């Protein structure tokens, strides 16, 4: 298996021996019933839970370990959407019906893998990474698929399937280089530390799924990734840094924080330095900006950060007012601002 294949979490694994209709024991879900196989290079069983509890008709779980030495990433990925409340907002969303939304999320996250970026954040920046917050990174972002000991006090652990693996290309000196295209959006789903080192877990969110993930409480899929990322953190604490990564040439590529500018300010979700005026047309964002800004405001309010929360909420209200100008007065919708307005 090549290093590039490791990044894709493919390899020489075999599909478990089972047949449709068979009841088996899943390592995570317990008793399940096999209902089919995924249409992927590595077919994997699809299953439904066995039991009386109600839920969506299709439940699937993919569980994969990549074992090896320190140069290999250790990843587990799971689709726990059968346990997640999947429903679009009351007035509709790009996700469509609950089943369409389920299939979309499954397609996005079935092949995700962990990537790592170690750095030393400037004073006061670590506190910017509040669980639940969305971040836009406007630049190309370097990461590695190599799991190793910490080479700096702060680690970003990305969960994604969209980074491009550039093994052996250009300057790569055994880095296991993977690069995110600019403009990616990530959600902070966890922050954990031992007093000396801190890991920030970032889940990449496609724009059309931002509203689905705009909840104050993490959903079951996010909780699953948090559990796996914390296990990876514990493993890393027991590992030594890789020499290929523990050098200044690699570290200099990682000096900037993610989603935060040089002055410690968040990049706006609609920011794009290549767009006219450096702002993306709201119609091209792929999500309703007012709803997502309201979510951002609520996260800041929960953390007691009024200076960040109040401008976002004011902007969300103004966007919603402007949207209603071209529609009947009854369409002005403030109900989604929730408790923030109370």
| Domain shared by 294 and 240, yes or no | no
- pLDDT averaged over every residue in the chain: 77
Last residue of one domain, picked from the residues 208, 228, 254? 254
> In this predicted model, which residue has the larger pLDDT, 325 or 148?
148
pLDDT tens sequence across 61-89: 333 333 333 333 333 333 333 333 333 34
Highest mean pLDDT: which of 161-175, 298-312, 316-330? 298-312
Average of pLDDT values for 21-41? 67
> In this predicted model, which residue has the larger pLDDT, 241 or 30?
241
Check if the beta carbon of residue 167 is closer than 8 Å to that of residue 3.
yes
| Domain shared by 158 and 60, yes or no | yes
Confidence category of residue 245, pLDDT binned at 50, 70, 90: very high
Tell whether 283 is covered by a domain: no
Backbone φ and ψ for 125, nearest 5 degrees, come out as -80, -35
| Domain shared by 213 and 123, yes or no | yes
Tell whether 266 is covered by a domain: no
| Domain shared by 92 and 177, yes or no | yes
Confidence category of residue 328, pLDDT binned at 50, 70, 90: low
Domain that holds residue 303: 288-341
Average of pLDDT values for 54-61? 29
Tell whether 241 is covered by a domain: yes
Check if the beta carbon of residue 108 is closer than 8 Å to that of residue 161.
yes
pTM of the model: 0.69
Tell whether 279 is covered by a domain: no
pLDDT tens sequence across 186-198: 999 999 999 999 9
In sequence order, the 6+-apart residues with CB closer than 8 A to the CB of 177 are 142, 143, 144, 165, 166, 167, 169
The span from the CA of 185 to the CA of 266, in Å, is: 12
| Domain shared by 247 and 293, yes or no | no
| Domain shared by 14 and 86, yes or no | yes
| Domain shared by 235 and 299, yes or no | no
Tell whether 51 is covered by a domain: yes
Give the other-Cβ count within 10 Å of 301's Cβ: 18
Angle between helix 306-325 and 289-302 (nearest 10): 160
What is the count of structural domains for the chain?
2
| Domain shared by 133 and 12, yes or no | yes
Angle CA 187–206–232, to nearest 5: 45
Angle CA 116–118–123, to nearest 5: 135
| Domain shared by 247 and 304, yes or no | no
Tell whether 236 is covered by a domain: yes
Note the pLDDT of residue 47. Answer: 74
Does residue 313 surpass a pLDDT of 90? Answer: yes
Q: How many CA atoms lie within 13 A of 300 on its CB side?
A: 18
Last residue of one domain, picked from the residues 254, 279, 297? 254
> In this predicted model, which residue has the larger pLDDT, 159 or 71?
159
Note the pLDDT of residue 84. Answer: 35
> In this predicted model, which residue has the larger pLDDT, 26 or 219?
219
The span from the CA of 321 to the CA of 332, in Å, is: 7
Question: From residue 187, how far is each of 31, 84, 267 by CA, in Å?
Answer: 32, 18, 13
| Domain shared by 321 and 191, yes or no | no
Note the pLDDT of residue 270. Answer: 86
Tell whether 271 is covered by a domain: no
pLDDT tens sequence across 83-116: 333 333 444 444 556 667 888 888 889 888 999 9
Note the pLDDT of residue 56. Answer: 27
Last residue of one domain, picked from the residues 210, 228, 254? 254
| Domain shared by 197 and 335, yes or no | no
| Domain shared by 51 and 120, yes or no | yes
Tell whether 276 is covered by a domain: no
């Amino acid at each position: 298996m090549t290093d590039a294949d490791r990044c894709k979490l493919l390899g020489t694994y075999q599909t478990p021996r089972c047949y449709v209709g068979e009841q088996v024991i899943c390592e995570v879900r317990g008793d399940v019933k096999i209902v089919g196989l995924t249409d992927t290079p590595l077919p994997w069983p699809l299953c439904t839970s066995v039991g009386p509890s109600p839920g969506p008709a299709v439940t699937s779980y993919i569980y994969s370990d990549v074992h090896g030495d320190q140069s290999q990433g250790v990843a587990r990925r799971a689709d726990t959407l059968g346990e997640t409340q999947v429903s679009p907002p009351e007035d509709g969303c790009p996700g469509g019906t609950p089943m369409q939304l389920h299939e979309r999320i499954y397609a996005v996250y079935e092949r995700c893998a962990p990537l790592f970026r170690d750095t030393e954040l400037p004073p006061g920046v670590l506190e910017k990474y509040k669980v639940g917050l969305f971040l836009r990174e406007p630049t190309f972002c370097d990461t590695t698929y190599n799991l190793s000991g910490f080479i700096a006090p702060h680690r970003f652990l990305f969960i994604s399937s969209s980074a491009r693996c550039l093994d052996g290309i250009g300057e790569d000196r055994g880095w296991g280089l993977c690069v995110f295209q600019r403009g990616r959006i990530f959600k902070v789903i966890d922050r954990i530390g031992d007093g000396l080192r801190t890991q920030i877990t970032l889940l990449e969110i496609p724009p059309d799924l931002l509203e689905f993930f705009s909840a104050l409480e993490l959903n079951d899929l996010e909780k699953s990734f948090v559990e796996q990322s914390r296990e990876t953190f514990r493993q890393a604490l027991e590992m030594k840094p890789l020499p290929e990564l523990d050098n200044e040439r690699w570290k200099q590529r990682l000096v900037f924080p993610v989603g935060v500018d040089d002055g410690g300010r968040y990049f706006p979700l609609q920011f794009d330095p290549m767009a006219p005026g450096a702002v993306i047309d709201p119609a091209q964002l792929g999500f309703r900006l007012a709803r997502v800004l309201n979510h951002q405001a609520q996260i800041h309010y929960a953390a007691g950060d009024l200076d960040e929360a109040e401008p976002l909420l004011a902007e969300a209200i103004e966007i919603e007012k402007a949207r209603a100008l071209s529609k009947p007065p009854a369409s002005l919708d403030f109900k989604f601002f929730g408790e923030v307005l109370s």
